[in-house]
Copies of this chain bind each other. A is one copy, B any other.
Amino acid sequence: MKGHTRLNALGCVLVAVATIAALSAMAQEKKPNVVFILADNVGYGDLGPYGGGELRGAPTPRIDQLAREGLRLTQYLVEPGCTPSRAALMTGQYSIRNGLSLVIIPGSPNTLSARAVTLGELFKGAGYATAIFGKWHLGAEPQSLPTAHGFDEFYGIPPDISWDSATYVDTITMTHSINAPPDELLAKGPQIVEAVAGGPLRTVKPYTREVRAEIDNELVAKSIDFMKRQTAAGKPFFLYLPFSMGHFPNLPSKQFAGKSRIGQYGDKLMEGDFHVGQIMDTLKELGVDDNTLLVFASDNGPQGETAREMGNSGPFRGELGEATEGSIRTFCFVRWPGKVKPGTSSYAMFSIMDFFPTFARLIGSKIPTDRPIDGVDQTDVLFGKSETGNRDSLLTFIGADMVAVRWKQWRMYLTDVHPTGIGPQREPGMFSASAPMAGYPKLYNIEMDPHEDLQVGALFGWAAGPALEVVEKYKETLKQYPNPPAGNLTHF
């Protein structure tokens, strides 16, 4: 697993990506390392530089440092859940184009297809060492694994399920009224797994609550080891670290249990802060600080009322699973000493899909031309050369439904909440079926009214025009490239 035998079975897609590469001037420089740390369900308002941290009772000094040393995006936009956002990050496409617009669950027919081209393949094709440590959540089928999509190494939780599967053992042992689960039961439950490129998934150990509490320590240790190995080998690396900070159950490690003033969620924020600091320290120790682009972002808004978790959406309405701003806008830091101006912020609209073409440009690679890529190149935003960037719109899907369209500061909802929906939603979300909008689409000015209190469709009806143009442009792409069936429990 530690890189002795790298199987290379990436298939024709990868070859297509790599051979197109007429290297740009940028890529003829030394190839930069890229480290992408992805937090899980951490909201816009949770961390120090976004009004959380110390203000919330959970100081984040290392993340505060990251903000001082890098760029803070204030309009970083994602999809409303773990699988959708991770699919969008990996492919540069709306998740619905890969049938991944709902959170997948074990046994779901919706998993990443062999045909998908991911960041793994992009970096691999450009000669990078690649690794993912943590949560994949795009499927456990052989063709869906990260190691089937350009990643040399994988270690993490079951790739078709999330951090909460750590509660399996409790559930089982409670049901059976036994104190310690026998090995047999543990073996049937969720397993920590590992794999190398093209190889099968191997189980490592049962994923228990104890493992849950300490897993980010494991993942960060593996990340540090990976960066050290690649630096020693003189090889550029892409490290994807989707760790557990923020996701239920937020069981803190021994080192951080009780460290915050607000309980486990705060403890886990402080633990994540420590881990981000460890990654920064390693880059410095290895002397690759100036040649490494570090991104630290969340996948979607927080769990609050829906799960009685403590994540905070900052000034925005709603949370994970909804189509509101609190669900689809969260934090993102970008740091690259000498390239990204320290202590800055940008209000450019920046989608999680935009990393795909942006990284492609930075490493001198080409993005696929045989499919729609919804991400746009945002290099100029990262380097402070553009104030508003290359994006002025975004679609939001829940399952099979297109529920909202953003155009400049306006958001227009295209569907309404089905009356049988549960949870705190005022707008359609993963926990409430969509219903046809009764009458006129609902319009909000997100920038002036971040909490979406004032429906202004009647006042600014003109904004529906350009907003619907965005919808039409997307629909146009479906003629040549129809979507696979979208995730839905009725699709079993």
Contact = CB atoms under 8 A, between A and B. Distances in A.
The CB with the most chain B CB atoms within 10 A, among A50, A312, A448, A453, is that of: A448
A54 B348 CA distance: 12
Interface in A237-277: 261-263
Contact of A262 (B57, B262, B447): B447
A456 to B, nearest CB: 10
A315 B447 contact: no
Given A45-B314, A54-B347, A262-B448, 19 more contacts: A45-B315, A50-B51, A51-B51, A51-B315, A52-B315, A54-B74, A54-B345, A55-B74, A55-B345, A56-B315, A56-B450, A57-B447, A261-B347, A261-B447, A304-B451, A308-B453, A312-B315, A314-B314, A314-B315
Contacts of A262: 447-448
A177 to B, nearest CB: 25
A403 interface: no
A45 B51 contact: yes
Contacts of A141: none
Bin chain A's interface residue count.
20 to 34
Q: Is the interface of A mostly helix, strand, loop or mixed?
A: loop
Interface in A10-67: 45, 50-52, 54-57
Contacts of A304: 451, 453
B347 A314 contact: no
Q: Which 4 A-B pairs have the closest CB atoms?
A: A51-B51, A312-B315, A262-B448, A305-B453
A454 interface: yes
Copies of this chain in its oligomeric complex: 2
Interface in A263-313: 263, 304-305, 308, 310, 312
Contacts of A50: 51, 55
A310 B312 CA distance: 19
Given A51-B51, A54-B74, A261-B347, A448 B310 contact: yes
Given A305-B453, A347-B57, A454-B308, A51 B448 contact: no
A449 interface: yes
A55 B314 contact: yes
A450 to B, nearest CB: 7
7 contacts: A50-B55, A51-B52, A51-B314, A55-B345, A56-B450, A304-B451, A314-B314
Interface of A: 45, 50-52, 54-57, 74, 261-263, 304-305, 308, 310, 312, 314-315, 345, 347, 447-451, 453-454
A450 B266 CA distance: 13
A448 B263 CA distance: 7
Contacts of A314: 45, 51, 55, 314-315
A265 to B, nearest CB: 8
A261 B349 CA distance: 14
A65 to B, nearest CB: 13
A368 to B, nearest CB: 35
A268 B262 CA distance: 34
A450 B453 CA distance: 20
A291 B23 CA distance: 61
Contacts of A55: 50-51, 74, 314-315, 345
